[in-house]
Amino acid sequence: MNGKPVAVITGASRGIGKAVAIALAGEGYDIAAIARSIDSEGMEHLGPEVEKRGSQFFPIGLDISCTACHGEVVSNILERYGRIDFLVNNAGVAPLQRNDVLDMTVESYDRVMNINLKGPVFFAQKIAREMIWMKDQISAYKPVIVFITSVSAVLSTTNRAEYCISKAGLSMTSTVFADRLSKEGILVCEVRPGIIQTDMTIKLKEKYDKMIAGGAVPQKRWGVPEDIGKAVASIARGDWDFSAGMVFDISGGLNIRKL
């Protein structure tokens, strides 16, 4: 069995997932990096970044919405390492087209919900079951599950309703998993990013620039993926071991309700 802890990160090829993988490698975790394609430029760059921090890099191709594929992926990770210590459910997509909620299509809704909510729910379920079993097999084992959601879990955007609904559902997923798994010795937390510089947000740079300049974000800057990586690394270090179900708003104050 591998002596080092192992972190599994979905959506690891770019943006937040990539930053989280690098941050956890820096905390001493071997990295099982999951993306739809292992041949992307992002994954090719991520491997050396992980390895130069002294950690092993295991790239895995998976469409998280394929729930029937989860079992094989988890088995492959356990066959290689013998353990899973940290799961970061990060994979997510925006609608292909922003439509008013009154024009939202069933096809778009199903696509977003399958990737952003259904896939992560059942992937977490699969790994949680393995974590419960591993508790009695690994000494000093402290398993953690983190769900990466969004401020869109609580802030409405009417032309991408399916995204907001999926993130609200994922937020409650974190809550119910935290409730159920705390007695099993598994820490579950939610990390809720604000306006972060990623491929998803850069398409609306002008809109977000104006919002930030106008004071919507009190700290008056874009977030960067490394902000999320640092938050997840803090959880990994054990800084929040008595914080089951905690929501970490990494949004520069966008979460502040003000009059």
pLDDT of 42 over the 70 cut = yes
Report the Cα 64 to chain-centroid distance in Å: 12
Sign of CA dihedral 176, 181, 183, 187: negative
In the prediction, which pLDDT does 199 show?
85
Would you state the pLDDT for residue 202?
A: 84
pLDDT of residue 201: 87
Return the CATH superfamily for domain 6-250.
Answer: NAD(P)-binding Rossmann-like Domain (3.40.50.720)
In this prediction, residue 40 carries a pLDDT of: 87
What's the whole-number mean pLDDT along residues 204-213?
92
pLDDT band at 203 (very low <50, low <70, confident <90, very high): confident
Residue 228 to residues 15, 108, 138: CA-CA distances in angstroms? 10, 27, 28
Q: Strand 144-148 vs strand 187-193: parallel, antiparallel, or unpaired?
A: parallel
Structure tokens at 121: 């729910």
Nearest of 223, 133, 259, 237 to residue 189 by alpha carbon: 237
Tell me if 33 sits within 8 A of 43, measured CB to CB: yes
Catalytic residue among 29, 81, 163, 208: 163
Question: What would the mean pLDDT of 122-151 be, rounded to a whole number?
Answer: 97
Does residue 2 register a pLDDT over 80? no
Known catalytic residue: 208? no
Are 101 and 158 in contact by the 8 Å Cβ rule? The answer is yes
Q: Which amino acid is at 198?
A: T
Q: How many CB atoms lie within 10 A of CB 39?
A: 10
Coil vs helix vs strand at 248: strand
Contacts for 120 with CB less than 8 Å, ≥ 6 apart? 10, 64, 89, 91, 147, 170, 173
Confidence of residue 1 (pLDDT cuts 50, 70, 90): low
Report how far Cα 29 is from the mean position of its chain's Cα atoms: 16
Give me the pLDDT at residue 3, please: 82
Tokens, residue 184:
């099993």
